[in-house]
Amino acid sequence: MANEEENAGHVKRQLAKLFGASLRATVPDEPEVEPLIAATADEKFGDYQCNNAMSIFSKTKGSGTGFRNPRSVGQAIKENLPPSEMVESSSVAGPGFVNVRLSRDWIAKNIEKMLLGGIENWAPQLPVKRAVVDFSSPNIAKEMHVGHLRSTIIGDALARMLEFSNVDVLRRNHVGDWGTQFGMLIEFLFEKYPNWEDVSETAIGDLQAFYKASKQRFDSDAAFKERAQQAVVHLQGGESKYRQAWSQICEISRKEFDRVYQRLGVQLEEKGESFYNPYIPDVIKELSQLQLVKESEGARVIFIEGSNIPLIVVKRDGGFNYASTDLTALWYRLNEEKAEWIIYVTDVGQQQHFDLVFKAAKLAGWLPADGSTYPKASHVGFGLVLGEDGKRFRTRSSEVVRLVDLLDEAKTRSKKALIERGKAEEWTELELEQTAEAVGYGAVKYADLKNNRLTNYTFDFDQMLNDKGNTAVYLLYAHARICSIIRKSGKDIEELKKTGTIVLDHAGERELGLHLLRFSEASVVEEACTNLLPNVLCEYLYNLSEIFTKRFYSNCQVVGSAEETSRLLLCEATAIVMRKCFYLLGIVPVYKI
């Protein structure tokens, strides 16, 4: 990872160093003052500002510093600012805000360095080396639904952003592959298919229907129910026949899940509930030795201060539950996998459950009590996907929407739009298929990720596949147009990177250059990671596309202009940053349209 001296792209960090030196000179008796650097709200005042003056004045007034008011503090901070090639000018506004305008040459040089050295030099620096991201997590023998779509898309984006930030990410699929329902499924398999060892995936067919039929049998037939309950005992006791049948059901389900993951381009390592099962007794023993586990109404529980309900870790019948498994998984991730940050991506309805689990872990001393330092655990909640009627998104027959069908529909609609634009005549069938996939799947992902994850959003194919507004289609087309400009120039862009220079004399050039540089800041990828909000990156990407199209390209001729080389390099830098944003969001770029 590049250090801060090398990685000049981190604008705020570089400015913080300059203002840090100024603050030490301005208030030498206050050595611990941290520079407060922010982008300016109004670009006419400059690009960034230091906001320390008011707090310094309120802290030091009457102590003989001679400052008359916050503005005089700001003036002193400005005058003590060391000379730097990155600052073109500085000024004081209002009650002491110290504004700086960055040097055009410095912005240009940093973009040139990125073009030569790669965008990885603009990666954030996070205070964590290894993280677990627990996402998707469907239940075996049940269909993946739109809730799993949200978890999968959001979790994958967070994992990608952390990986870009040089964090070792363990992508975990905590599938529901253990518990009482498996007795029901196994017994139904034995009953329906006497030669169950040879049963293929096609014979069982729709696992969802298989699950429903077994559940119906379980609820209506007392003898079957008793056999199913015994089957759970045999399975959990490790009997080979039951383990083999369980494995078979899990494998068929896995293939269904993989059809979704392949379409989404998502990589996951499965460590389901069953993986942690052998560790549960020792974890409960450890918690009991710490005197955290108490008897309550026949169950064993952990009482959490401030909560009306305790965390049940052993049920009345002696069995384990979600809390037992989740506590054990957290213990394993901290102690065996040495993760410093464990991130759980599930719907907001599970917030209370995870809150209790994390508090229990703090009581046990696994996590710091204040939650502000590492290791730490975070719950990433998300809202519902709604239909056009404002209710939970379902099919017309009130069934949960199958994700495979939903993604295929997005691709089909995308392909139809491309054919209507005459691309079937221009492109090969492979090009048409690949572009339809990239646009269709990208549209579904971006429509989800651009929203603050905590809010509900309405699933609307027409809106998400619109080529105007804040949609993946608009962004992908904008990227393709930039690639087209570079191609039409006939220039070797790789050669230009080595020999060309960037000049930001036009206001549109400078605005684009500054926004490109801001990709490396805490306000983009780092903020998205720190606050676990992918929509921050979506907003940056959309604004980049708008600045390129409406401020730069509309006002600055590229091909055939006297500034062609510089402007082609700006086009290439924009395309590189867009592609990195697409990658971090799990979207495949298109290069022609």
pLDDT given at position 478: 96
**Which residues 6+ apart lie within 8 Å of 539 measured at CB?**
450
Is there a contact between 538 and 474 (Cβ–Cβ < 8 Å)?
A: no
Q: Which amino acid is at 541?
A: L
* Phi, psi of 176, deg, nearest 5: -80, 90
CATH topology of domain 11-102: Gyrase A; domain 2 (3.30.1360)
Residue 9, pLDDT above cutoff 50: no
**Which residues 6+ apart lie within 8 Å of 560 measured at CB?**
none
C-alpha–C-alpha distance, residues 584 and 172, integer Å: 18
Pairing of strands 457-458, 385-386: parallel
Percent of the chain with pLDDT over 70: 95
Is there a contact between 70 and 53 (Cβ–Cβ < 8 Å)?
A: yes
C-alpha–C-alpha distance, residues 91 and 70, integer Å: 14
Report the pLDDT averaged over residues 449-467.
93
Render 51-78 in DSSP notation, one character per residue. --HHHHHHHHTTSS----SHHHHHHHHH
Least confident stretch, 192-196, 217-221, 307-311 = 192-196
The 3-state DSSP class for residue 296 equals: strand
Residue 461, pLDDT above cutoff 70: yes
The 3-state DSSP class for residue 127 equals: coil
Q: Centre a 10 Å sphere on the Cβ of residue 26 and count the other Cβ atoms it contains.
A: 25
Which of residues 325 and 392 earns the better pLDDT score? 325
Q: Convert the pLDDT of each residue in 267-276 to its tens digit.
A: 999 999 999 9
Q: Of the candidates 329, 343, 358, which has an alpha carbon nearest to the alpha carbon of residue 167?
A: 343
Q: Convert the pLDDT of each residue in 506-518 to its tens digit.
A: 999 999 999 999 9
Q: Which amino acid is at 575?
A: A
E-strand ranges in 543-582 read none
User: Which pTM does this prediction carry?
Assistant: 0.92
- For residue 390, CA distances in Å to 150, 280, 393, 476 come to 17, 42, 8, 29
Report the pLDDT averaged over residues 307-336.
93
Place of tokens 């579904």: 444
Least confident stretch, 61-70, 158-167, 266-275 = 61-70
Residue 153, pLDDT above cutoff 80: yes
Least confident stretch, 193-197, 379-383, 405-409 = 193-197
**Which residues 6+ apart lie within 8 Å of 153 measured at CB?**
264, 444, 445, 448, 449, 586
C-alpha–C-alpha distance, residues 281 and 286, integer Å: 9
Residue 304, pLDDT above cutoff 70: yes
C-alpha–C-alpha distance, residues 314 and 325, integer Å: 10
DSSP class of residue 277 equals G
Alpha helices in 80-165 (DSSP H): 104-117, 146-164
Cα-based angle 67, 68, 70 (whole degrees, multiple of 5): 80
Residue 110, pLDDT above cutoff 60: yes
C-alpha–C-alpha distance, residues 580 and 519, integer Å: 10
C-alpha–C-alpha distance, residues 186 and 246, integer Å: 7
Q: Of the candidates 177, 173, 105, 170, which has an alpha carbon nearest to the alpha carbon of residue 141?
A: 177
Least confident stretch, 251-255, 262-266, 585-589 = 251-255
Q: Convert the pLDDT of each residue in 377-387 to its tens digit.
A: 999 999 988 88
The 3-state DSSP class for residue 41 equals: coil
Alpha helices in 122-239 (DSSP H): 146-164, 181-192, 201-204, 207-220, 222-236
| CB burial of residue 421 (10 Å; 0-12, 13-18, 19+) | exposed
Q: Of the candidates 120, 121, 104, 118, which has an alpha carbon nearest to the alpha carbon of residue 502?
A: 104
C-alpha–C-alpha distance, residues 75 and 96, integer Å: 7
pLDDT given at position 454: 92
- What's the start-to-end Cα distance of the chain, in Å? 36
Residue 428, pLDDT above cutoff 90: yes
- The two structure tokens encoding residue 391: 């209710």
pLDDT given at position 4: 36
pLDDT grade, residue 388 (50/70/90)?
confident
**Which residues 6+ apart lie within 8 Å of 47 measured at CB?**
39, 40, 100, 101, 102, 514
Is there a contact between 167 and 425 (Cβ–Cβ < 8 Å)?
A: no
C-alpha–C-alpha distance, residues 364 and 378, integer Å: 17
| CB burial of residue 495 (10 Å; 0-12, 13-18, 19+) | exposed
Residue 371, pLDDT above cutoff 90: no
- Which run of H or of E encompasses 454? none
Least confident stretch, 4-18, 26-40, 465-479, 525-539 = 4-18
- The domain locations on the chain are 11-102, 436-585
Report the pLDDT averaged over residues 465-476.
95
Report the pLDDT averaged over residues 220-244.
92
CA-based torsion, 330, 128, 266, 358: positive or negative: positive
Number of residues written out for the chain: 593
Q: Report the Cα 39 to chain-centroid distance in Å.
A: 24
Least confident stretch, 7-16, 55-64, 90-99 = 7-16
Pick the CATH number of 436-585 from 1.10.3720.10, 3.30.365.10, 1.10.730.10, 3.30.70.270: 1.10.730.10
| Domains 11-102 and 436-585 are alike in CATH topology | no
Report the pLDDT averaged over residues 437-463.
94
pLDDT grade, residue 42 (50/70/90)?
confident
